[in-house]
Amino acid sequence: MTIEDFISKLEAEFEDVEPGTLKAETSFRDIEDWSSMHALIVIALIDTEYDVILSGTDLQAANTINDLFELVRTKQ
Amino acid sequence: MVAASIKAVSYYLPSERLTNEDLFAQFGTLSPAEIFKRVGVRERPIRGKGQIGSDLAFESSLVLFDEHGVDKAEIDFLLFCTEGLDYKGPATACIMQDRLGLNKGIGAMDIPMGCAGFTNGLAIAKALIASGQSKNVLLQTADIPSSVIHPGDLDLRMLFGDAGASALISRCDDQFGIGNFVMGTDGSGAENLMVKRSNTRTPVDTKWLEEHKAVGGLEFGRMEMNGLEIFSFSMREVPSLVNDILAKNNLALEDVDLFVFHQANAFILKMLARKLRIDNEKVYNCMEYIGNTVSASVPIALAKASKEGKIKKGNTVLIAAFGIGYSWSGTIIKY
C-alpha cells in the first residue's frame, strides 16, 4: 500500500471531497464539513480495505492523513 | 433432541412520533435529509407520558395473543427483557404474570439486557425447552431509550425509538427451529455505552436533579455513547460472530436467505454487509420509521420481514445482536 493509494481511497469515500485535494499532511479534521460520520467512514474504509480495525482512541490520537496511514501500516 | 422454534412474533409501537423535521426545528443544524443519510431513520416512536417499557411489552403481548390466536393458558414460562425494569424489586416479570393473567404455575424472570437482549433471551428460552422444563415460553423485549436521552443530544435522539415486542417460543419436533447459539461478552467496553446515574452504583442525587431541572431532571439517568468505540466494536466483533454462527450450524454464507441484525443504525448495517461481502438486499433494514429500539429491534425486524414476505417457509435466517455490555449473540432460525 502507498500513501497515494490511501489518499485516493479516502477521496473516493468522501462524497463532498474533490479528487486531488487531500495531501499526506492534511489534518483530516479540517476537511470541509468534517463530522463524526466521517470518522466512522474512515474506520470502515480502513477495516474493509486493509483489514485493520482502528479504535476510537486510535483515531483521536491521529491528526493528519499521514498519521492514519502510518497507524494502518504498523497495525497491518 | 427436542427442538424449539419461534412460533409467533408481534410488536407494539407507542403512537407519538419524533420526526427529522421536529429535530431540525429544534436544533437547526442537520437537515431532515442529512439526518436520514446519517442514520437511516425518518421517524421514531416515542413513549407517551408515564408509559414505561413493561407497558409497551404488555401491549405487544396483547397484539401477539390477538394476531396469532395464542392461548395464554399454554404459556408456561415468561421472560421479560429490558434495560428499564419497573422496580429494583419485585421482578417486572412477576407483575407481568398477573397483568397478563398467565397461569400461576409458571416461571417468570427478568433479563436486564439491551441490544443483545432478544438473542440472549432466545438462547435461554431454547434451553428451557430443550431441557424439557417448558413447552411455550413468552419472551418479551421492550425498551424506552428516549427516557434516558438528554434532549440536547442530537446524535442519540436521531437514532433511538421506544418499542415493545413479544415472541412465543415453542417446542417443535421437526428439523425446523432455532439453531446453535454463539455468545460473547466483553465488559471492558461497559463505559462506552452506559446509562449514567441510573442505579445503585451511582444513583441520581438532588444535585443531579437540580443540574438537569431544565430538561425534566433526567431522573432515570442519562445514556452516554462513545459512537466511535461502539462502531469499532461492531466492526470487530460482528463479522466474527456471523462466521462463528455459520460454523456452529454447519452452514456457508450463501446458505442464508436473510441476515437480521440488531438495527443499530443503517450505516453499521451497510458496513457489515460490505465487510461480510453480502448483498445489501440480504441484510434486513426496517429502521426508517422505527429507529434503533434496543432489545425490541430484532423481533420487530423478524415480524416485519415475515409480513413483507422477505422471510418465507423454508428460509434460513441468521439473527445476530450486539451492543451495550458489550454483549453479543446470535443463531440460525430455520422457518
Residues in chain B within 8 Å Cβ distance of A59: 228
Q: Could you give all domains of chain B from N- to C-terminal order, each with its CATH number?
A: 3-174 (3.40.47.10), 182-334 (3.40.47.10)
Instruction: Name the residues of B annotated as catalytic.
Output: 115, 262, 292
pLDDT band, residue A76 (cuts 50/70/90): confident
Q: What pLDDT is attached to residue B1?
A: 62
- Window A:7-36, CB contacts with B under 8 Å: 36
Q: Inform me whether the C-beta atom of residue A2 falls under 8 Å from chain B C-beta atoms.
A: no
Q: Inform me whether the C-beta atom of residue A52 falls under 8 Å from chain B C-beta atoms.
A: no
Q: What pLDDT is attached to residue B93?
A: 98
Q: What pLDDT is attached to residue A43?
A: 93
Contact B75, B136 (CB under 8 A): yes
User: Any alpha helices (H) in A1-76, and if so which ranges?
Assistant: 3-13, 36-50, 56-61, 65-75
Residues A29 and B228: their CA atoms lie apart, in Å, by 15
What would the pLDDT profile of A47-65 be if each residue is shown by its tens digit? 989 999 999 899 989 999 9
| Cell triple for B265 | 443504525
| B16-19 and B43-46 strand pairing | antiparallel
User: What does pLDDT average to in each consecutive run of 10 residues of chain B (335 residues)?
Assistant: 90 98 97 96 97 98 98 97 97 98 98 98 97 97 98 97 98 86 98 96 95 95 96 96 98 98 96 95 98 98 98 96 98 96
Q: What pLDDT is attached to residue A18?
A: 85
Annotate B21-64 with three-state secondary structure.
Answer: HHHHHHHCCCCHHHHHHHHCCCEEEECCCCCCHHHHHHHHHHHH
- Nearest CA of chain B to the CA of A43: how many Å? 7
Q: What pLDDT is attached to residue A20?
A: 87
**B298: nearest Cα among B255, B333, B263, B251:** B263
Chain A and chain B share a number of CB contacts under 8 A equal to: 44
- Window B:52-81, CB contacts with A under 8 Å: none
pTM of the entire predicted model: 0.96
What would the pLDDT profile of B114-133 be if each residue is shown by its tens digit? 999 999 999 999 999 999 99
pLDDT band, residue A32 (cuts 50/70/90): confident
What would the pLDDT profile of B70-83 be if each residue is shown by its tens digit? 999 999 999 999 99
SS3 B176: coil
Instruction: Judge residue B40's burial from the number of C-beta atoms within 10 Å of its C-beta, 0-12 exposed, 13-18 middle, 19 or more buried.
Output: buried
Contact B78, B108 (CB under 8 A): yes
What would the pLDDT profile of A3-17 be if each residue is shown by its tens digit? 999 999 998 888 778
Nearest Cβ partner for B232 among A37, A48, A55: A55
Contact A55 B229 (CB under 8 A): yes
